[in-house]
Amino acid sequence: MKTLDQWFEEYAVSHQNPKNKAIHYVCVPAIFFSIVGLLMSIPSVFLTNLLQLNQPIIENWAAVILVFVLFFYLRLSVTMAVKIAIFSILCLVINYYISQFVPLWAFSIAVFVVAWIGQFYGHNIEGKKPSFLKDIQFLLIGPAWVAENLFSKK
C-alpha cells in the first residue's frame, strides 16, 4: 500500500505547470462538490426507511458514500481524513441549501461538466494525461493533493 506522500509524488508528475495547478485548485474541489450534489439528488426512500432518520443532510446517499470515502483517507492519514471530512460536511451543507432554490441535480451536472472541461484543458496545457487514467484511485488523491497544496505550511 502506498503512503500519502508516495501518492502525492506520483500525482505531482502530471501537475507541474502553474496554470494546470491553478485550474486543479478550482476544478478538483468543484468536481468533488458536484458529485456530492449528484449523490444527494438520488432519491433516498430506501435510506429513510433503513435508517429511520428525518435529517435531510444525513439521510442521503452522499452522506453514506462519504463515510466510505473517508475510510480511504483515514488509511492514508488521519490529518488528511479530517481535512476531507470538513470539506465533505461543507459540501453537504452548501448543496442542501442550493437544493432549496434550484434543482440540485441540474446544478451539479453543470458544475461537473464545466469543471471537467477545465481539468482536461489544464492537462492539455500540461501536455500530460490525467493521473486517473493510470489508476482510478487518483480520483480520490486529487482532492487530498489540492488540500495539501493549498492548506499546508510546506
> What is the structure's pLDDT at 14?
87
Assess whether pLDDT exceeds 80 at residue 110: yes
Question: What confidence tier does 87 reach under pLDDT thresholds 50, 70, 90?
Answer: very high
**Is the pTM for the entire model greater than 0.75?**
yes
| CA nearest neighbour of 119 among 7, 30, 34 | 30
Cβ-contact 34, 111 below 8 angstroms: yes
DSSP structural state of residue 14: T
CA 93/CA 17 separation, integer angstroms: 33
> What is the structure's pLDDT at 19?
95
